[in-house]
A = this chain, B = another copy of it.
Amino acid sequence: MAQQDRAIRTRRLILEAAASVFDDLGYDRATIAEVLERAGVTKGALYFHFASKEQLALAVLDEHVLDIAVEPQKIKLQEFVDAGQVLAYRLRSDPIQRGAARLAVEQGSNHLDRKQSMLAWTRFVVELLDQARDRGEIMESVVVPETAELFVGAFAGLQLMSHALTNQADLSQRLTIFFQHTLPSIAVPAILAKLNLDPERGAKLDAALQGKALADAAADAEAGVPAR
């Protein structure tokens, strides 16, 4: 394995361990020692990648947004629904998404700026909704920034409720219910009738995305390109 490859994998290993510690203990009670224990790496390896617990948390929060890139769809609003469902699915299955979600919703008694995570998500949703508007998919009455912030805020709460009641098992279903209640006020009728709000969609899309990532990595390896 090339040295650069190994460094990327070690960084990922540390990030996943840190996210699971944040998920279990929260920011305040998380320790570097616990992250080292779970990652099985040396202190030197960790500090090579991350200068502090805060840096670790910020890196975990960064992954929260960057990880969601769904397949393009004919209807842009379907991509909006899909991004939500993939995220909901990953909050069940992916330690980094779980850790990031807890960091994003904990009320700060420390220096982490949780606003940034919410604002980054809002920008992501605004962009999708603006594209949907350009294509005539959403109603004139929709104020995109308001709808985007509603989605981000409500999602945080649904995630929290699902975590408390079912350890995220019913989050996809809760998200579908949210879409069923709000999309009739957002989408024009002809688009609304074509949207797929199936709560199982997140798992299917995630599997497709993982498959594509693996195929890309295999193609890169064949071509001698370093791991992405």
Q: Which A positions have Cβ atoms within 8 angstroms of B?
A: 24-26, 28-29, 102, 105-109, 114-115, 118-119, 146-147, 149-150, 152-165, 174, 177-178, 180-182, 184-186
Contacts and interface: CB of A to CB of B under 8 A. Distances in A.
Query: Can you list the 6 inter-chain pairs with the closest CB atoms, starting with the nearest?
Result: A157-B157, A153-B161, A154-B154, A156-B157, A153-B158, A181-B182
A177 B149 CA distance: 10
A150 B177 CA distance: 7
Contacts of A29: 28, 109
25 contacts: A26-B106, A26-B107, A26-B109, A28-B28, A29-B109, A102-B107, A105-B107, A114-B164, A115-B164, A118-B161, A118-B164, A118-B165, A119-B165, A149-B161, A149-B174, A150-B158, A150-B174, A153-B157, A154-B157, A154-B178, A156-B160, A157-B157, A182-B182, A184-B185, A185-B185
Of the candidates A105, A107, A154, A159, the one having the most CB atoms from chain B within 10 angstroms of its own CB is A154
Contact of A180 (B114, B119, B174, B185): B185
Contacts of A24: 109
A31 B150 CA distance: 35
A161 B177 CA distance: 20
A150 B181 contact: yes
Indicate how many identical chains form the complex.
2
Nearest to A108: B164
A112 to B, nearest CB: 11
Given A115-B164, A149-B174, A156-B156, 17 more contacts: A105-B105, A107-B164, A108-B164, A146-B177, A150-B158, A150-B174, A152-B161, A153-B154, A153-B157, A153-B161, A153-B162, A156-B160, A156-B161, A157-B160, A160-B160, A181-B181, A181-B182
